[in-house]
Structure 1
Amino acid sequence: MATPPASTKSSLQQRLSRHARDRWPALARVGVRFHGQFAYIDGHLPDGQVLPLCRLRYGGTASRWGFAIYLASKDGYHNSALPNGYTAGSPEEALDCACGLYLNDPTAWLPDTTPTN
């Protein structure tokens, strides 16, 4: 069971914070807590409410993490697939998937059609 190094922990927080600022303006901030190989991601709303969103599992690389969605009905995390069908992906993909559910924005699950030049 690999645990992320300090540099990866810092990088993850920075990446998710940047992405949330750009894509999820309803969030005041994103919180990241670590325990062993897991990173627990919370969304903080402007009114102070904290939404557990998902859990990421470190597998040895900062660019690809295992994904588990938070299920309020079970008050726990459930290994899940991202909208692309994979059970691991970028932290930003995981945040988009969870926020699409908990912030009620299903456009987060649509493929990115932004042209690349």
Structure 2
Amino acid sequence: MPTTPESTQLSLAQQLTQYARTAWPQLTDLHIRHRGAFAYVEGELADGERVKLMRLRYGGTASRWGFALYYASSDRYEDSLLPTGAFAGSPEDTLDCACQLHLARPEL
């Protein structure tokens, strides 16, 4: 499994943070930590609470990431399908899927 290049790590953080600002305003910040090929994503709420959202797996391209949801009931990340039926997708698709499960979708 390839290690995520530093430039891809920075790009992922910028992409997810920018997208979260418009799509998920209840998140005041995103916290992303990398370990090998994995990126662990937590969302920060207005009261400072952090919510574990997902784990992404780098597969050699910055535009498509393997996806695992965080399940508080087992305190584990489990490979999961996106609404598209795939186990991998764009950073925006993965964030939408995780936030739809962990947060209430904002009214438009």
Contact 2:56–2:65 (8 Å) recurs in 1: yes
In structure 1, the residue matched to 2:65 is: 65
Contact 2:66 2:88 in 1 (8 A): yes
Match of 1:25 in 2: 25
SS of alignment partner, residue 28 of structure 1 = strand
Match of 1:83 in 2: 83
Preserved CA contact (<8 Å) 2:24 2:106: no
- Amino acid in structure 2 at the alignment position of 1:76: R
Query: Which gives a bigger RCO, structure 1 or 2 (Cα 8 Å, sep 6+)?
Result: 2
Consecutive unaligned residues in structure 1, runs of 5 or more: 108-117
- Give the 3-state SS of the residue equivalent to 2:19 in structure 1: helix
Contact persistence 1:100–1:106 (CA under 8 A): no
Pairwise CA RMSD of aligned residues? Answer: 1.4
| Residue type at the aligned position of 1:60 | G
- What TM-score results when the alignment is normalised by the length of structure 2? 0.96
Please list every run of 5 or more consecutive structure 2 residues that lacks an aligned counterpart in the other structure. Answer: none
* CA–CA separation in structure 1 for the residues paired with 2:19 and 2:104: 17
Q: Where is the strand percentage greater, Structure 1 or Structure 2?
A: 2
Structure 1 residue 54 displacement after superposition: 0.2
Distance 2:97 2:63 in 1: 16
Could you list the runs of 4 or more consecutive aligned residues of structure 1 that deviate by over 4 angstroms after TM superposition?
A: none
Structure showing greater radius of gyration is 1
